[in-house]
Amino acid sequence: MGIARRARRALKQMILGPWDFPQQCTVGLRDPQSEVTVWLSGLGTPRDVTQSHIMACGAPFTIGIGFDGQQNDLVESGTRLSLRFHERDGEQQLLGEIGLQYSSSLDAGRQQLYLFRVSHYRNYCLPKLQLWARYLQYARLRRGVQHPDVPITAREIHAMAVFFICPRPVVLVSVADGGMGNVFPMNLMGPIGNGYFAFALNSTRAAAQLVERTGRVALSSIPVEQASVAYQLAGNHRKPCTDWNQFPFATTMSTTLGVPVPGFALRVREMQVEATRKMGSHTLFVARTIRDEAREDGNHFFVVHGIYQAWRQKMKRAQPSGAQVEAQV
C-alpha cells in the first residue's frame, strides 16, 4: 500500500473511526451496574428508573417502566416524557436520550408496567460525523439480511443503541417441563418494582411458548468468564426442550422450584409468571419473584452497545494513571 493511500486511510479512520465496529460488546461489571443512571423526565422532579425499566419488545421497539400508581393520570395524558442516560460518576455527562410516547399498560398484582413507543432519540457518545458513519455501516449490514428475525426500522435500531448505553445483564433462564426442560440466554429483562420482574422473549421461538406453558422460571446471573457458554446456548431459544445432561456445565437444583441451574451461577432468582402479553415480535412476561438467592461474588456478564463502548474506551484512556477501571472482555 502506497504512502498516500495509507495517509488517506489513516485520516479517514481518524475522522470516521474504525470500521470493525461491533454493535454489541461484552463487559464484566458488578451487579447492579454503577456506570450509567437512567432518569425519567417529564413528571416534575426527574425520577431514577435505572432499576425499573426494560425493553419490552423489539418490533415495534417498546420500553416498559414500572410505576407505583401515583402518577398514572399524568403518564396517560400525553405528557412529554423522556429517558435520559447519564454517566453516574465524574461529570455525570448526558450520554443519550429517548423520547417516550405512551402506548398502554399492564397490571400484575400490585405493580403496573407502563409501555411506551419511541418518539425521538439522541446519542451523544460519539461526534456526529462518527455517529453517522456507524449508522451508514449498520444500514449496509441490514441490506445484506434477506429475512430479518426481528424486522425493526433504522430509527428503532438507532434508538436501541441509546437504550444499550445502559449496561444490560445477560442471564441463563432455566425452565422445567416434567422430566425435560431448557436453558437459554436472555437480556431483555429487568426489575419493575415491588418484587416484580418483567422480561421479553421472541414470540416465534419455542422458548417463549415453553415459558408461557409452564409459568415458572429460574434466572441465573453468570460470571463474565462464562459469557461464551451463554452465547453457545443461544440456539436453545428454538428448541422446545433439551436433555438436562447435554448442557456443557454442571448443574445444581434451585431452592424453591427445584429447577436445574448452572453450578457457576452468581445469583439465582426464581419467579412465577403472573401476566403475559403478545406485543409484536416479542411476548412480554411479568413475574413475581418468589426467591432471590446470592450464591457467589464476581463480575457479572453484561452487554453494551459498541457506540457506548467507544465512549468507555475513550474515558478509560483519559483516566489518570492508577485510576480503577471495571474489568471487561
Structural domains present in the chain: 34-167 (2.30.110), 168-302 (2.30.110.10)
Eight-class DSSP state of 237: G
Among the listed residues 232, 75, 87, 238, the one whose alpha carbon sits nearest the alpha carbon of residue 149: 238
Eight-class DSSP state of 223: B
Q: Which residue blocks in the chain are alpha helix, DSSP H?
A: 3-16, 72-76, 128-143, 154-163, 206-214, 227-232, 306-318
As a residue count, the chain comes to 329
297 vs 198: CA distance, rounded Å: 24
Among the listed residues 159, 191, 173, the one whose alpha carbon sits nearest the alpha carbon of residue 31: 191
Adjacent-strand bridge partners of 84: 39, 97
| Residue that the C-alpha cell 422460571 belongs to | 217
Q: Are the C-beta atoms of residues 200 and 63 closer than 8 Å to each other?
A: no
CA dihedral angle for residue 91, residue 92, residue 97, residue 101, rounded to 10 degrees:
-150
Pairing state between β 111-123 and 94-108: antiparallel
pLDDT at 71: 56
Q: Are the C-beta atoms of residues 157 and 150 closer than 8 Å to each other?
A: no
Q: How buried is residue 124: exposed, middle or buried, by Cβ count under 10 Å (0-12/13-18/19+)?
A: middle
The answer to whether the peptide bond before residue 148 is cis (omega within 30 degrees of 0) is no
Report CA 153 to chain centroid distance, whole Å. 18
Eight-class DSSP state of 8: H
Q: Are the C-beta atoms of residues 189 and 197 closer than 8 Å to each other?
A: yes
The Cβ-side half-sphere exposure at 93, using a 13 Å CA radius, reads 12
Amino acid at 129: L
Adjacent-strand bridge partners of 62: 57, 117
Q: Are the C-beta atoms of residues 267 and 31 closer than 8 Å to each other?
A: yes
317 vs 81: CA distance, rounded Å: 34
Stated pTM of the model: 0.90
One digit per residue, pLDDT tens: the chain, 329 residues?
566 566 455 545 555 556 567 889 999 999 999 999 999 999 889 999 999 999 999 999 999 999 876 556 667 667 789 999 999 998 899 999 999 999 999 987 778 899 999 999 999 999 998 899 888 888 887 786 666 777 889 999 999 999 999 999 999 999 998 878 899 999 999 999 989 999 999 999 999 999 999 999 999 999 999 999 999 999 999 998 888 888 889 999 999 999 999 999 999 999 999 999 999 999 999 999 999 999 999 999 999 999 999 999 988 866 554 333 333 33
Residue 268: count of CB within 10 angstroms of its CB: 25
258 vs 222: CA distance, rounded Å: 19
